[in-house]
Amino acid sequence: MAFKKLREIRDRFEKLWINGGFIFGYENEINEKHDNDYPLLVVLPPTSELPATEGTSKEDYTFECLIVKPYYQNQTGSLDIVFSLLEQEALSWLQRVLDSYPNRDVILSPESIAVEREKELYNDKLIQVRLTFTLNAFSHNFSFVDESFITALTPRVWLRSDMGVKTSYSGGNEVVSRWIDQSGFGNHFEQTTLTKMPSYEYKMSDNSYPFINFDGTDDFMECVDSSINFDDKGLLQDHTIFLVTRDKSEQSSFILSLNAGLANIPQMFIEARFAGSYMIPRANYVDDDFDAVQNDVNKSLFSVSDVFAFHFNNKTSTVYSNGLMLNSVTNSQFDDFGAYGVGNKMTIGSDNGGAARFFKGDIQEIIIFNSSLSEENIVKISDYLQHKYDIA
| Burial class of residue 174 in the structure, from the number of CB atoms within 10 Å of its CB (0-12 exposed, 13-18 middle, 19+ buried) | buried
Mean pLDDT to the nearest integer, 56-73: 77
pTM of the model: 0.89
What per-residue confidence (pLDDT) applies to 344?
84
What per-residue confidence (pLDDT) applies to 143?
43
What per-residue confidence (pLDDT) applies to 129?
92
What per-residue confidence (pLDDT) applies to 343?
73
Give dist(CA 240, CA 374) in Å, integer: 10
pLDDT band at 321 (very low <50, low <70, confident <90, very high): very high
Among the listed residues 367, 331, 169, 354, the one whose alpha carbon sits nearest the alpha carbon of residue 261: 354
Please give the share of the chain, as a percent, with pLDDT higher than 90: 48
Please give the share of the chain, as a percent, with pLDDT higher than 70: 85
Beta strands 60-70; 40-44: pairing state: antiparallel
User: In terms of pLDDT, which residue wins out, 192 or 304?
Assistant: 192
pLDDT band at 46 (very low <50, low <70, confident <90, very high): confident
In the chain the domains, ranked by start, together with CATH numbers, are 2-136 (3.30.2000), 148-388 (2.60.120.200)
The answer to whether 368 and 321 are in contact (CB under 8 A) is: no
Residue 68 clears pLDDT 60, i.e. is over it: yes
What per-residue confidence (pLDDT) applies to 138?
45
**Among 28-32, 270-274, 308-312, 360-364, whose mean pLDDT is lowest?**
28-32
How many beta carbons lie within 10 A of that of residue 36, not counting itself? 21
pLDDT band at 355 (very low <50, low <70, confident <90, very high): confident
Mean pLDDT to the nearest integer, 111-116: 78
Phi, psi of 3, rounded to the nearest 5 degrees: -70, -30
User: In terms of pLDDT, which residue wins out, 136 or 24?
Assistant: 24
What per-residue confidence (pLDDT) applies to 124?
65
What per-residue confidence (pLDDT) applies to 136?
65
- Name the average pLDDT for the chain: 85
pLDDT band at 103 (very low <50, low <70, confident <90, very high): low
Mean pLDDT to the nearest integer, 242-261: 89
Cα 43 to chain centroid, rounded: 24
Largest Cα–Cα distance of the chain, in whole Å?
A: 74
Mean pLDDT to the nearest integer, 251-274: 89
Mean pLDDT to the nearest integer, 42-59: 65
User: In terms of pLDDT, which residue wins out, 118 or 286?
Assistant: 286
| Burial class of residue 24 in the structure, from the number of CB atoms within 10 Å of its CB (0-12 exposed, 13-18 middle, 19+ buried) | middle
What per-residue confidence (pLDDT) applies to 17?
96
What per-residue confidence (pLDDT) applies to 50?
52
Q: Name the amino acid, one letter, at 84.
A: S
Residue 359 clears pLDDT 50, i.e. is over it: yes
pLDDT band at 140 (very low <50, low <70, confident <90, very high): very low
Give dist(CA 84, CA 95) in Å, integer: 16
pLDDT in tens, 196-237: 999 999 875 577 889 999 999 999 999 998 778 666 678 999
